[in-house]
Amino acid sequence: MPNVQVHSLFTDFDINLFKGGKHYRLYEKLGSHLVEVDGVAGTYFAVWAPSAKSVAVVGNFNSWKVEEHQLNVRWDASGIWEGFIPNIGKGEIYKYKIQSNNNDIWTEKADPFARYCEHPPNTASIIWTAEHDWKDDAWMGYRKDKNGLDKPYSVYEVHLGSWKKNAENKFLTYKEFAIDLVNYVKEMGYTHVEFMPVMEYPYDPSWGYQLIGYFAPTSRFGSPEEFKFLVDAFHQNDIGVILDWVPSHFPEDAHGLGFFDGSNLYEHPDRRKGYHTDWKSLIFNYGRNEVRAFLISNAIFWLDQFHVDGLRVDAVASMLYLDYSREDGEWEPNMYGNNENLEAMSFIRELNQAVYSSFDGVQTIAEESTAFTGVSKPVEDSGLGFGMKWMMGWMHDTLQFFQKEPVYRKHHLNDLTFSMTYAFTEHFMLPFSHDEVVYGKKSLVYRMPGDEWQRFANLRLLYGYMFTHPGTKLMFMGGEFGQTAEWNFEQSLDWHLLQYDGHKGIQDFVKDLNHLYKSAPALYEKQFSPEGFQWIDYSDHENSVLTYIRKGHDAENDLIIVCNFTPVPRENYRIGNPKKGKLTEVLNSDDAKYGGGGNVNSVVKSSAKSSHGYKKSIEITVPPLGIVILK
């Protein structure tokens, strides 16, 4: 009996879909699969390597000898090599040894479809099945409602390697996160958690954004089934899970996708389209059908096999533009003479159509930093089809404003008001992400001006403004308690800071903001519609005060928001009252329980005096560097 038996999981229909780039569940066919053939247990292997002269499976089971287990090439010009190896099973490590048609080129590669990988720096793939008895039926049943665009969407962004370490300063495990992290996110009131890439990656300083094992949760924190356990735990606590996903580039590591079979298989062969100089990484060939199928299958895989609720797609701008971070002469225009990457745009549209047609209640979110139009519009309306887009312009303008000394802010209030001129052109998510607290930018609290009290007051005001501005929310871990140091991926967050009142006050304020966001329909029902926002006054530059209304479907739920961007309290500050009835203060960032000065409004004085175009008005105290929310 041969060492490798002829066997296939592919039908002719599968092959036709694969060649056409329309096979969106390739993980069911390619890779390693535990099967039984003629009553004998073993593993079926299948790998795409069209430029190969020979492909062998090597591992400890054959002493890494290339001649022992040679796969068979299919006869249909698909470029797929496959075969069944009896008597090897779960837990065996392996790689593919590939001889190119150019006899001088040999590559030894990890399996692109491996479900589990060795712990870096080891690089082999592992034969694996990830059995898990899901207990999230309730969540999956009502996810479509919980995860909708007219629902509260407050995301806690987490880097698992540095959120918290154990007593020995080592990583927590997926099972430990299922207790500590799940309980924390629930207590803080976030609706979703977002993980920076958990797909296997070789290099810790990449933070996970240089992927090798696209179908394997990183072994740093445990096994694939333990990662399923973590997702399940979040769902059982009514918290959605979003994964960072990186279809924009991949590293050149020898065991990875680059030059896979001795040819430019996954990467574009033209370095002007196939290489990122910024990240020293390779760019997928979005025009190649089989590569598109690989990437879309990968997106579907996480939503299907791991019950993930959304994908935040990294570096979309780098995919959309041929001249992204390139000088003249380093890129070539498209067929229309402009700088748009038509193949990447086509791929993105196909990706979003495949995702939304396959799953109810999921979202794709674009990290897209340019003014490209229609990112979150449906494909049928000539958009890219994402559910949401990061509002990078708002983030930059807002942080730039808050870094200014308050005495100068009256000259720059338009940095804040400008966002409302385009806030409803996309479904925007407001991000304060990991990128804003690294590389010398300082932590958010240390970007605030003034003494320590003013820094914390500014940060509370910043978060209050964020949560009352239209759009969904994202906050990077540590920001919720005013982490003072820049984020360091090698060490835990500074949880000891919570012994100090200022940091505990920030944490309590963020917790209350989350709970207000979830309980106040005015903040989410129309968060992507101009009907959900109305200015009362954006012209009080001298006092640096903004006043606006957030609206939901029922006018009874309307909220009035007043922001004071100076350290001078505004007493008896008059605001036009658009409706009859008593107003109540529902949140005040200067409350003493948050570390503020206690300038709260126990009584809101109503008056028949007209103001701001309304017949009636109210008078309140607007605290220094504070936000007041009235209902």
Where a domain ends, among 513, 540, 567?
513
> Are residues 115 and 202 located together in one domain of the fold?
no
Q: What is the pLDDT, as a whole number, of residue 1?
A: 54
Q: Of these residues, 157, 226, 290, 367, which one is catalytic? A: 367
Using alpha carbons, select from 149, 137, 227 the residue that is nearest to residue 181: 227
* Residues of the chain falling short of pLDDT 50: none
Based on the domain organization, do 106 and 163 belong to the same domain? no
Which stretches of 314-461 are assigned E, i.e. beta strand? Answer: 363-366, 388-390, 428-432
Residues 305 and 407 in one domain: yes
Active site residue 137: no
Check if the beta carbon of residue 589 is closer than 8 Å to that of residue 509: yes
How much is the pLDDT for 104? 80
The answer to whether residue 271 sits within a structural domain is: no
**H helices, E strands: number in the chain:** 14, 28
The CATH number covering residue 447 comes to 3.20.20.80
CA angle 577, 583, 585 (to 5 degrees): 120
**Distance between CA atoms of 475 and 437, rounded to whole angstroms?**
11
Q: What is the pLDDT of residues 111-164, one digit of tens each?
A: 999 999 999 999 999 999 999 999 999 999 999 999 999 999 999 999 999 999
Residue 520 inside a domain? The answer is: no
CB 113 within 8 A of CB 149: no
Same domain, yes or no: 158 and 306: yes
6 neighbors 72 (Cβ within 8 angstroms): yes
| CATH number for 611 | 2.60.40.1180
67 given a catalytic annotation: no
| Same domain (yes/no): 207, 313 | yes
264 belongs to a structural domain = no
pLDDT for the residue 574: 95
Q: What was the pLDDT predicted at 425? A: 96
Per-residue three-class SS string for 468-520? HCCCEEEEECCHHHCCCCCCCCCCCCCHHHHHCHHHHHHHHHHHHHHHHHHHC
**What total of structural domains would you count in the chain?**
3
pLDDT of residue 407: 95
pLDDT the model gives residue 606:
84
Q: Which two tokens stand for residue 360?
A: 């109810």
Q: Which helix (H) or strand (E) holds 304?
A: helix 289-305
Q: Is residue 597 one of the residues assigned to a domain?
A: yes
**Do 180 and 122 fall into the same domain?**
no
Terminal alpha carbon distance of the chain: 79
Q: Are 181 and 71 in the same domain?
A: no
Written as one letter, the residue type at 576 is G
Find the DSSP H helices in 147-247: 160-163, 174-188, 224-236
In terms of domains, do 548 and 479 share one?
A: no
- CATH number of the domain bearing residue 114: 2.60.40.10
d(CA 209, CA 420): 32
Instruction: Record the tokens describing residue 551, joined without a space.
Output: 């609206």
Interval 50-97: pLDDT, tens:
999 999 999 999 999 999 999 999 999 999 999 999 999 999 999 999
Q: Which of 470, 485, 513 is the last residue of a domain?
A: 513
pTM, full prediction: 0.97
Question: Exactly one of 200, 290, 314, 436 is catalytic; which is it?
Answer: 314
| DSSP E strand boundaries for 93-137 | 93-100, 106-109, 125-126
Shared-domain flag, residues 504 and 566? no
Residue 256: inside a domain = no
For residues 128 and 118, give the distance between their C-alpha atoms in angstroms, rounded to a whole number.
11
Is residue 623 reached through a cis peptide bond, with omega within 30 degrees of 0 on the bond before it? Answer: no
* Structural domain contains residue 337: no
Neighbours of 410 (CB within 10 A): 15
Full residue range of the structural domain in which residue 392 is found: 153-250+287-323+348-417+429-513
Residue 101 and residue 168 share a domain: no
Same domain membership, residue 310 and residue 192: yes
Do both 509 and 461 map to the same domain?
Answer: yes
462's tokens:
């910043």
Task: Look at residue 607 and tell me if it is in a domain.
Answer: yes
Domain end marker among 472, 487, 513: 513
Burial class (CB in 10 A: 0-12, 13-18, 19+), 82: buried
Residue 330 lies in a domain: no
In 3D space, the residue among 479, 387, 434, 477 whose CA is nearest the CA of residue 151 turns out to be 387
